[in-house]
Chains A and B, each alone.
Chain A
Amino acid sequence: SAAMELEASGAVGGRVAALATGYLGYRRGGPGRGLELRSLRRARRQDVCDVGHKYYLELELQDIQDKDSTISCTAEVLYHLGTKSLAPDVQVTLQGELREAEEEEKEFYNRIRSLDKELVAENIPDSHGHVPPEMEPIFLLARAASGYVIWQNSTENTKFQLAQIKEVKQVKRSDEYLEFDYMILLHEMVSQEIIPWQMRVLWHPQHGVQVTQDKRQPKHPSG
């Protein structure tokens, strides 16, 4: 049976909200669209016996490219008890429409397809926070894909954000998909660790984002 619902603390609520946002970014984000958390309105927690902790969230998200956008949504997140290898169950329900990103995505797709050489880039953003305009879709794609890694690796005691793309290399393909090999840095807020992570990302305008392979990398000891 389910225990009664309690209001979750701001600290924990923030972590659950970050997970839900990452998950939604993976499902609905792409080179033309990035989503971020605008505010957490409410977070309630329910202990489900022998299963885990379930959170009910009321969130406001915003489209990165539209500062004034407000997208209300609700999310249910279940963190499984004990088993460290089970990713949390996440369900997000949008109460509204997301901005159309078809034009930008088509443009990005055509641009990359017409490159003479495979795309290679590093340090996005750079030390001064600068992202060259032509790299913005590569940055947004990394955000969306990192949402998958964040979803798969989150617990109630972690809060992940994409800190930087260290390196990205386009992978040549014979079909219509675009593929990129990313080395990203994730920032985990509670431990404050910077975690290098490698991920293979597949994308197509009609088929969305897919992380086909990912691997945590070792940290360098002295920096």
Chain B
Amino acid sequence: DQVLRIVANSEEQINLLRALEKQMEKKVDFWHHPSRPGHPADLQVSSSSLQDVKIFLEFHNISYSIMIKDVQELLDEEKENMTKSRRMERSTSTFDFASYHTLEEIYHWMDTLVRDHPNLVSKIQIGQSYEKRPLYVLKFSTGGTNRSAIWMDTGIHAREWITQATGVWTANKLAEEYGHDPSVTSILDSMDIFLEIIANPDGFAFTHRCNRLWRKTRSLNVESDCVGVDPNRNWNVGFGGSGSSSEPCSETYRGPYPHSESEVKAIVDFICGHGHVKSVISIHSYSQMLLFPYGYKRSPAAHHQELNELAKKAVSDMAAVYGTKYIYGSIADTIYVADGTTIDWAYDHGVKFSFTLELRDKGRYGFLLPSSQIIPTATETWPALVDIMVHVLENPY
């Protein structure tokens, strides 16, 4: 079967089409009835009558084009898509936390989390990615006004798949533990938590579609074939130093100017607009490290001692779960000099408890961490997150 788009140019031609319909009742079907001259009418024609109908139209000089070349093909495709989304629907109520998921699957799951915990979780949109994907943040809140808040993000670097997966597990854990775990309950009774699970959706989609090891955003660069900016070098702190690159083809390209990336700007605007964010925890992989400012300079942060002590405790509590060893310290001391980073920006904008986590592993699988390690990784990371949040709760500023 084909679907023809027919444009009658006169009342006379409209009448002819109506007569055609009457005459070939069982063989043709108007999806869009002919109404006025100049307006398209869509006609499904069975394959056996195609030639006759086309001859008729051509004889009467009625212009048409082929809108759908093969209706059966289209039906089969639609059916497949519906089966897929039905599979998704089934799987979100029994969501597999031990697998890596696509962007669509995670966005879909976020809606079910909100649906299942309407008094605790809501979804807000803080902006759009370069390719116009929505930037969604889950808000965990038990009410109140002007509450202090904790910000967490995962997936700012697309290829670090363990982080988005950990974000999903952690969101679920937070929803489950409120009202049960005393620490989580105390935290959420006074503070809000904001969790952006997919901070770089364009990059994430690209890792599924084309290049599993893509890191940056997918913004097009002027005068370069190379795509993307490193969203963890694009923040307005120490911008343009030796800890980032001015080359668009580089994995640590800082971008044409600070906050050029909509993915970064959205978080900046959110945190500045909120006004009461007391902690930023930005989650990356890999290396097994818990890091705090600064990355852009070697000199210690004003709160180095307190951050160091908190990191030491968090790392010890992580090791207690499965024996996984993390090292800790400032970014510059522990990993490398990096400027324009998320947590340096947050810290220099008054967010004292700013940490970056580099999750499993130390290089054996690196970015390609086996999915069998998702739940163990998220499970051991959880006490570190709780330690930080409890410390924020107990040390208001």
Contacts and interface: CB of A to CB of B under 8 A. Distances in A.
Size category of the A interface is 20 to 34
Contacts of B333: 9-11
B363 A36 contact: yes
B92 interface: no
Which of B325, B334, B363 counts the most A-chain CB atoms under 10 A from its CB?
A: B363
A10 B287 CA distance: 13
Interface in A15-40: 18, 34, 36-37, 39
Contacts of A164: 212-213, 368
Nearest to B245: A191
Given A10-B334, A223-B227, A191 B363 contact: no
A126 B362 contact: no
Nearest to B370: A129
Contacts of B214: 223
A55 to B, nearest CB: 17
B129 to A, nearest CB: 16
A127 B329 contact: no
A221 interface: yes
Binding site of A, secondary structure by majority: helix, strand, loop or mixed? loop
B332 interface: yes
A126 B99 CA distance: 13
Given A128-B100, A191-B252, A222-B226, A36 B336 contact: no
Interface range on chain B (Cβ under 8 Å from partner): 35 or more
Nearest to A220: B211
A48 interface: no
A221 B368 contact: no
A193 interface: yes
Contacts of A71: none
Contact of A163 (B227, B287, B366): B366
B323 to A, nearest CB: 9
B367 A191 contact: no
Interface string B362-384: 11111111111100000000000
A121 interface: no
B371 A189 contact: no
A223 B225 contact: no
B217 to A, nearest CB: 11
Given A11-B333, A125-B370, A39 B363 contact: no
Contact of A129 (B215, B327, B329, B371): B371
Given A187-B367, A191-B250, A223-B211, A36 B362 contact: yes
Interface of A: 9-11, 14, 18, 34, 36-37, 39, 64, 125-131, 161-164, 185, 187, 189-194, 219, 221-223
30 contacts: A10-B327, A10-B333, A10-B334, A11-B334, A11-B335, A11-B336, A14-B334, A18-B363, A37-B362, A125-B365, A126-B368, A127-B368, A128-B368, A129-B365, A129-B370, A131-B370, A162-B366, A163-B366, A163-B367, A187-B213, A189-B287, A191-B251, A192-B215, A193-B250, A219-B249, A221-B225, A222-B225, A223-B210, A223-B211, A223-B214
